[in-house]
Amino acid sequence: MENSSNFSELVDANKVWAIGSLHSGLDSFNSIKNYILSNFELGDKLIFLGNVIGFGNKSKEIVNEVLKLRFKLMAKHKLQNNDIVFLRGAQEEMFSKLLQLHIAPNPLEILDWVFSHGVDQTLISYRFDPDEFRKIATQGTIHINKLTTKLNNEILSSPGHKEFFSNLKHAAYTDTKEVLFVNRGVDISRPLSAQNDCFWWGYQNFSQINKPYFSFKRIVRGYQSNSHNDIENSKSMVLCTLFKQPLESKKIIAGIFAKNGDILELFESK
């Protein structure tokens, strides 16, 4: 996987399979994975809409599983690297901040915040104790650097994990420029080239978008914080959200889209 741009263009897609936030839901992902393996066709593309990790303590295992799916599909259908895309979600963004904790001006505050949003469970999956990070966070840059180095080395020792975290995209779109895929939102007052981190933190009133965003007639996202999701009527809406609160339900929603944004199928994990 090579990260030459923050954006990925899905070229000559037959259909685009999109998977909403997994949040380490290993069992739920397995049912989605099996459905994809049985029905994926030549010319199809696949995109994970961010938040693969987090909240559950199976983050390491879920990364292993999504990489296994990637390898199986690439081998069976002779896919190129950019035919399967992983977006950066808030969970991946917060975990990246944790990996750089040694350069943070306020490490303890950052730890408290990311741990309160489920990143502590990702640490546990990589066999680290969150309390050890809290203790070290008050002991200065040298001690923090030793611990983050250990965590980075653990990621390096897990095949494919470093590449996974290093090649996350901000957004993806079909070559028709009619359907856009994001994790959580987009600043509709700016073009893609002038966006900030609202891709994974969201943008105010984005859920109420009711007209195309530049040439994009459909926007597909993988996470929302509010509980209302009118997915049943999404075929007539600009926005299609492949996620339903609450997190505790552990349901994963996925969809299949034509390159012009038409919704061909919506389905969820068993």
- Which pLDDT tens digit goes with each residue over 44-97? 999 999 999 999 899 999 999 999 999 999 999 999 999 999 999 999 999 999
Whether residue 117 is predicted with pLDDT greater than 70 in this model: the reply is yes
What pLDDT is stored for residue 138 in this prediction?
93
**Letter for the amino acid at 16?**
V
**Does the global pTM surpass 0.85?**
yes
Residue 54's nearest CA partner among 5, 125, 106 is 125
Q: How confident is the model at residue 156 (pLDDT cuts 50, 70, 90)?
A: very high
Range 188-213 average pLDDT: 92
Whether residue 229 is predicted with pLDDT greater than 90 in this model: the reply is no
Contacts of 104 (CB under 8 A, 6+ apart): 97, 110
Range 26-54 average pLDDT: 96
Strand partners, 47: 18, 85
Q: How far is CA 44 from CA 52, 83, 127, 224, in A?
A: 21, 8, 36, 26
Whether residue 1 is predicted with pLDDT greater than 50 in this model: the reply is no
Tokens 């994963």 locate to: 252
What pLDDT is stored for residue 232 in this prediction?
77
Please name each of the domains of the chain with its CATH number.
Answer: 8-89+168-268 (3.60.21.10), 92-156 (no CATH)
**Letter for the amino acid at 264?**
L
Q: 94-103, 155-164, 168-177, 245-254: which range is least confident on average?
A: 245-254
Q: Based on C-alpha coordinates, what's the Rg of the chain?
A: 18
What pLDDT is stored for residue 4 in this prediction?
57
Strand order in the sheet with 45-48: 84-86, 45-48, 16-19, 253-257, 263-268
Whether residue 223 is predicted with pLDDT greater than 70 in this model: the reply is yes
Taking 3-state DSSP, the helix, strand and coil percentages for the chain, each rounded to the nearest 5, stand at: 40, 15, 40
